[in-house]
Structure 1
Amino acid sequence: MNRALFAVLLALLLLSAGTARSQVPVKERQFVYGINAFAWAGYAGSLSAKPSHTIYVLAGHRSMVSPRETLVYFWPITGEYRADWSGLNASVPGTLEVWKSGRAAAVLARQMYVLQYPNGPDSEPAVLYVGEEAERRYRAFVDARERYRDAQVRYLEARGRYLEALDKAVAARQHGAPVTLPSPPEEPPPFRLFSSEVHDGFLIDLPPGQYTIRVRGSDGQVIAGSQRSLVAFTHRREAVGFTIVPQTRWTVPERADEPSSTIYARRDQILYFQPFAAREYSDLAYARLANPQSAEGRSDAWRWEYTQSLAGTQLQVAGGSGVEAIPGRPYRVEQKTGEALGYEVIEPPAGQPADFAGFKVRVQGTMSLVLLDPNGRPVPGSERIVRVPHLRTAWPLGIIPLLPLTLGAAVVAWRREQFRHASRPREG
C-alpha cells in the first residue's frame, strides 16, 4: 500500500512539473515596433510584432514608432504577443521609409523623444517633446524632482523640530509658564509632473491615408521583418458630448454623445451636465490605435471620443417655465455621515478644491438644452432633449401573464365535472 501511494504521489509530482514547464512561454528574438500613438485620453503604448498587424495612428497628430529588437512570446491568457523588454531591448539603426501608392512619401530620421504628464502619470494631457527639446525637458524634470525631494527633507526636519518645540510649549503651559506656540512649517506643494525616460524613434505625423513603412539599414538594405501597413485615420463628425452626473448617483455618470439625442429623467431630479468637444471615429480603427493586436472594435460601428472640456460657457435651458441661461460652476462631492449614507454635491467652500465643474439643472418636465459659446451663440451639435416619462397604471399588464393560467384552470375544472357526471351509475 505504501509503495502504491508513493508511486501515485511521484506521478502527480512529475505531472505537475511537466505542466509548469509547458506554461513557460517560448521566447523568440524578433524585430518589432514599439508604438506611442497619440490618443485623446493620452498616448497609447503598444507593440507591433509578428505576425504583423496594421498600425493605426490619428491623422494630423504626432505619434512615435521605435524599431527595436526584443524577445517576443505569446501570452495565451490575452491571446496577444508580448515583449520581454528586460531580456532584450536593442535599438535598430537606420531610416524609416514611408510609402503610399507605390511611391516614397517620406524618409524619416531617428529622433530622441520624451513623454511628460504635467498632472501625474497616466493623466491628461500628455505632452510629447522631440529632439533637443526632449533632452532639455527631461533634464528640467530631473532637476525639479531633486528640488522637491530636498524640499521634502527640509520640511520633515522642520516638522520634527516643530513637534519637539510644541511638546515643550505644552509642558511649560501645564506648569503655568507663559508660552508662545510655534508656527508649523509649510509643506511644499505636491510634485505632480511625471516624465518618461528619453527614448529614440521616428515621428509620424501624416495626413489621412493608407501607407507602408519599413526600415532601411545603414548598409542600404531593408531590415527583414520591418515592413508594416499603416493607416492614418481621422474623424467623420464633430459635436458636443455631455457627461451627466445625477446628484444621487454621481459615481455612475452617464453619457449623451449623439447630437439631438433624448435624455430621460424623473421630474425634480437634479442633473449636472459636463460638456466636452467630441469627435466620432471608426470603432475598429480607434481600438487598433490603442492596440494593433486588439480583437475588439467593429468595422461598421462608430464611437465618440472626448477631446477637451468646454469650460467658460453657458447652458441654455428652455421649458414650460421659460428660457434660462445657466452658468457653469465648480462642485464638490462630500460623503454623508450618520444613518443617511450616500453623497452630497455642494459648491466647494473657499479654499477647498472642486471635484468637477458643470451645469446644475433641475428637471421640470420636457426641456430642450443647448450650449452657448462665449458670444452667446448656440454651439452646433450640442442640442439635447430632456423628457420625463409618463408612467401609467401598470395593473392591466399584470393580468396578461395570468390569462393562460386562468384559462387552463377553467378547462381542468370543466373536464373534472364532465368526468364526474360520466362516472355516475345509471338507475333502472
Structure 2
Amino acid sequence: MNRRWWFSALLLLMLLLSRSAVQAQAPKRVAAFVYGINAAAPDGVIGTFAPPTVESIYLLAGHTSVLSPRQTLVYFWPITNEYRAAWSEMNETIEGTLEISQNGRRVSALEQVDYTIHFGAGEGAPKPQLYLGAAAAEANQRFEAERNAYQQAVLAFEKAQAAWQTMLREGQTRRESGSQVEIPPPPEPPPPLNVFSTGLNRGYPVNLSPGSYDIQLRLADGSIQPGSARRLVVFAPRRTAVGYTVIPESRWTTPEELTDLADVILGEPGSVLYLKPHVIREYPALPYEYLLNPQYPGDVQGPEWRWVAGEPINEGTLEVVSGGRVTERVPLVPYRVKQIPGAALGYEILPFDPNDPGAPRDPDFAAYRIVLSDQLPAYEVRVVSNEGQVLLGSQRQTRVLPRVDLRLLLLLPAIPLVLGWLVMTLRRKQTSPVQVVA
C-alpha cells in the first residue's frame, strides 16, 4: 500500500512538472498596435511588420509602399531574438488618418484604401503589381474568377484523366485477347495558374521623396492612436547600373552574381557562360537592412553601400569589345533546361522553342551566350539598347584563365627535394676523407 502511494505521488509530480514545462515554453502573447508593411523593393515587395519596439520604419523613395495599422497579438521569439505577430489569432484593422510631417510641418494626411498585390510565377514574370482603390476590387474580382476557372479546369482534367486510365486498362485487356484497339492520347492538363494574390486588404499607400518624416494615426474622435507615432525614413539609391547572373553551362545549379562594377567574368578556355542581365542599384547598407527587416539589430558589417539586384533586362544586345573594336554581337535568347534521362542525371541547356511539343510553356531564363577562348584571353562585354546606346554600368572585364599543365603542378613539390639532394651530394664531394694514423 505504501509503495503504491509513493508511485501515485511520483506520477502526479511528473505530470505537474511536464505541464509547467510546456506552459513555460509557450511564448506569452500580448495585444499591441503594429504597422503591417508591404515595402516596395527593387525586384518585388517585402512583407514585414513593425512591432512596438521598432521606432523607425524604412521605405524606398519613388515607389509606393503600403502601411497597414493593425491590432494583433505579438510575442517574443528567442530563437531569432525578434517579435512575431499571431495574425491568425487577431488581425483587426484600425481606421483613421495617417498624418505625415517633416520638421514639424504636416506634408500629407492619408486615408486608408483597399489594396491588393498580385505576384507572377516563373522566369520572366512581371514584378508584383500593386492595385489601389477601385482598381484593387476589380483586380481581386478578376483573380478570383481566374482561380475559380482554374479549379474547374483541374477538376475536369482529373475526371478526364480517370476516364482515360479506365479506357487504357480496358484496351490493354482487349489487346491481350487479340483485339485491335486504338487508345486516344491522354488529356492535356490545364495551364498553371501563374498569378497569386494577397487578397483584398486595407492600408495607406505611401510614396515620398528621400528624407526623414514623422507619422502618427489620428482616430475618428481626434485622438492619436497609442503607439502609432514612429519615424519614417525614406531613402534612394545613389547609383544605378547593370549586373549579371553568370550561369556556367557545366554548373547550371550554381550561378554566380556579379553585382559590383569591379567584378570580373572568369572562366577556362572552352567554357560556355550564359549572362543574364538585370538592373542593380547601390543603396546605403544599413537602411536597406532595416527595409528588409525592421527589427534588424543594427550591427551591419562591411562597406557602407551595397549593390542590390533588381528587375531583369529583357532587351538589348551584348557587345564583345577588344582593343576598342566590337568583335562580336550576341543577342538575348530565351533558353530552357532539359533533364537528360538515364543514369547520367545531367541536363542540357537548349534554345527555347515555343512550337516544340516537348518544351515547357515558358523559358527557364533569357541570357547572352558567350564561349571563352584562349585566342581572345581578355576583352570587355557591355549591353547596348535597341536604340544603340550603351547601358550605363554594363561594362565588365572578361578574362580567360590560362591552361595549367598538371604535370608542372606535380613537379613543384619535388623541387625542394631535388635541391636538397644536390646540396647533400656537393657537400659529400667537397669533404675529404679523414685518414687515421696508427
Match in the other structure for 1:290: 292
* 1:88-237 pair list within 5 angstroms: 88-119=90-121, 125-168=127-170, 181-182=183-184, 184-237=186-239
Worse-matched range after superposition: 226-235 or 377-386: 377-386
Taking the aligned partners of 1:387 and 1:182, their CA distance within structure 2 comes to 55
Q: CA deviation at 1:324?
A: 0.7
Deviations 1:195-240 (A, max 9, x none): 1221111111111111111001111111111101111111110110
Deviations 1:289-308 (A, max 9, x none): 12200236459532222222
Contact 1:38–1:44 (CA under 8 A) maintained in structure 2: yes
Structure 1: stretches of 5+ with no match in the other structure: 411-428
C-alpha change, 1:57 and 1:324, in structure 2 (3 Å) is: same
Q: CA deviation at 1:129?
A: 0.8
- Counterpart amino acid of 1:56? Y
C-alpha change, 1:341 and 1:240, in structure 2 (3 Å) is: same
C-alpha change, 1:23 and 1:395, in structure 2 (3 Å) is: same
Tell me the secondary structure at the aligned position of residue 86 of structure 1.
coil
Match in the other structure for 1:318: 321
Taking the aligned partners of 2:191 and 2:293, their CA distance within structure 1 comes to 36
1:383 to 2:386 alignment: no
Taking the aligned partners of 1:156 and 1:28, their CA distance within structure 2 comes to 46
Residue 356 of structure 1 is aligned with which of 359, 362, 365? 365
Taking the aligned partners of 2:166 and 2:12, their CA distance within structure 1 comes to 65
Residue 24 of structure 1 is aligned with which of 9, 23, 26? 26
Residue 338 of structure 2 is aligned with which of 334, 338, 352? 334
Taking the aligned partners of 1:326 and 1:178, their CA distance within structure 2 comes to 54
Worse-matched range after superposition: 344-353 or 390-399: 390-399
Deviations 1:104-160 (A, max 9, x none): 01000111111112338xx76211111111112112211222222222223333334
C-alpha change, 1:336 and 1:178, in structure 2 (3 Å) is: closer
Contact 2:216–2:230 (CA under 8 A) maintained in structure 1: yes
Worse-matched range after superposition: 279-288 or 180-189: 180-189
Contact 1:41–1:124 (CA under 8 A) maintained in structure 2: no
**TM-score normalised per structure 1:** 0.83
Q: CA deviation at 1:187?
A: 3.1
Tell me the secondary structure at the aligned position of residue 281 of structure 1.
strand
* 1:375-414 pair list within 5 angstroms: 375-390=387-402, 398=413
Q: CA deviation at 1:69?
A: 1.1
Q: CA deviation at 1:41?
A: 3.3
Worse-matched range after superposition: 132-141 or 317-326: 317-326
Tell me the secondary structure at the aligned position of residue 191 of structure 1.
coil
Worse-matched range after superposition: 87-96 or 303-312: 303-312
Match in the other structure for 2:54: 52
Contact 2:266–2:399 (CA under 8 A) maintained in structure 1: yes
Structure 2: stretches of 5+ with no match in the other structure: 425-438
Worse-matched range after superposition: 52-61 or 317-326: 317-326
Match in the other structure for 1:309: 312
* 1:258-277 pair list within 5 angstroms: 258-277=260-279
Contact 1:240–1:382 (CA under 8 A) maintained in structure 2: yes
Residue 367 of structure 1 is aligned with which of 358, 376, 379? 379
**TM-score normalised per structure 2:** 0.82
Taking the aligned partners of 2:166 and 2:409, their CA distance within structure 1 comes to 71
C-alpha change, 1:401 and 1:227, in structure 2 (3 Å) is: farther
C-alpha change, 1:235 and 1:88, in structure 2 (3 Å) is: same
Contact 2:290–2:296 (CA under 8 A) maintained in structure 1: yes
Taking the aligned partners of 1:252 and 1:323, their CA distance within structure 2 comes to 29
Match in the other structure for 2:45: 43
